[in-house]
């Protein structure tokens, strides 16, 4: 079962300069706030896609839901 | 219905409706908290929108995500463009961008915060709703 710590590490490893805060009460539904300079000049759809891509194929599976907020520092 | 026919029906729904949301369940009976919140937020804007339920056939979701490159449900399209899922719509509602994107004036009495999911008789986030 994925943990918030694992999601945080994977996001930070995949997106340059990213810092992530990830929470979950049940290790199935997650909530994440991700800050990265890479998000600059990208639409919200593009920003969220960058994070979704980190978990390709897992969303809707063992990661049932990932509530997401992306920000530029 | 073949995958191709499903894909064409999805493309048609996106093309023919200025505002269309693909969701789990219906606006009257959403089957997931995120779909419920998205619909409640759109209803605050008092603008008409079309809704497509992805639950009747798992291939609807597969083909939709293949077309949009977006893995989760709900998905909101305005004028043929993917605007985003629940989190983005809530964020845009609260910043005023949603009204702009929809081309409407936010109603005077609309609350500053996006509404929480409207109460529904349907059970939400059931494990079997993973389609």
Chain A: closest CA distance from residue B83 (Å): 7
Note the pLDDT tens digit of each residue in B49-72: 999 999 999 999 999 999 999 999
Q: What is the DSSP letter of B21?
A: E
Q: For residues B106 and B80, which has the higher predicted lDDT (pLDDT)?
A: B80
Q: Taking residues B91-104, report their average pLDDT.
A: 94
Mean pLDDT along residues A43-52: 95
Report ipTM for this prediction.
0.82
Determine, for residues A49 and B69 on separate chains, whether the beta-carbon distance falls below 8 Å. yes
Q: Determine the Cα–Cα distance for residues A43 and A64; give it in Å rounded to an integer.
A: 24
CA nearest to B9, candidates B42, B48, B54:
B54
- To 5 degrees, how large is the angle CA B131–CA A29–CA B52? 35
Phi-psi region of B4 (alpha: psi -120 to 50; beta: other; left: phi over 0): alpha
Which chain B residues are Cβ-neighbours of A44 within 8 angstroms? Answer: 84, 88, 91-92
Residue A33 touches partner B, C-beta closer than 8 Å: no
Q: CA–CA separation, B12 vs A41, rounded Å?
A: 31
In percent, the amount of chain A with pLDDT more than 90 equals 85
């Amino acid at each position: 079962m994925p943990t918030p710590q694992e999601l945080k590490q994977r996001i930070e490893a995949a997106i340059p300069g990213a810092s992530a805060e990830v929470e979950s009460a049940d290790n199935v539904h997650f909530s994440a706030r991700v800050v990265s300079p890479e998000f600059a000049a990208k639409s919200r759809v593009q920003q969220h896609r960058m994070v979704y891509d980190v978990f390709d194929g897992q969303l809707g599976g063992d990661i049932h839901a990932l509530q997401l907020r992306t920000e530029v520092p | 219905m073949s995958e191709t026919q499903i894909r064409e029906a999805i493309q048609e729904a996106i093309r023919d409706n200025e505002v269309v949301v693909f969701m789990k369940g219906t606006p009257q009976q959403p089957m997931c908290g995120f779909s419920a919140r998205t619909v409640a937020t759109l209803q605050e804007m008092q603008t008409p929108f079309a809704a497509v339920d992805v639950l009747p056939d798992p291939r609807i979701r597969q083909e939709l995500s293949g077309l949009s490159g977006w893995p989760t449900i709900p998905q909101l399209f305005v004028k043929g463009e993917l605007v985003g899922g629940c989190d983005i719509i809530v964020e845009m509602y609260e910043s005023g961008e949603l009204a702009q994107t929809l081309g409407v004036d936010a109603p005077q009495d609309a609350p500053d915060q996006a509404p929480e999911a409207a109460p529904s008789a349907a059970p939400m986030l059931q494990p079997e709703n993973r389609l």
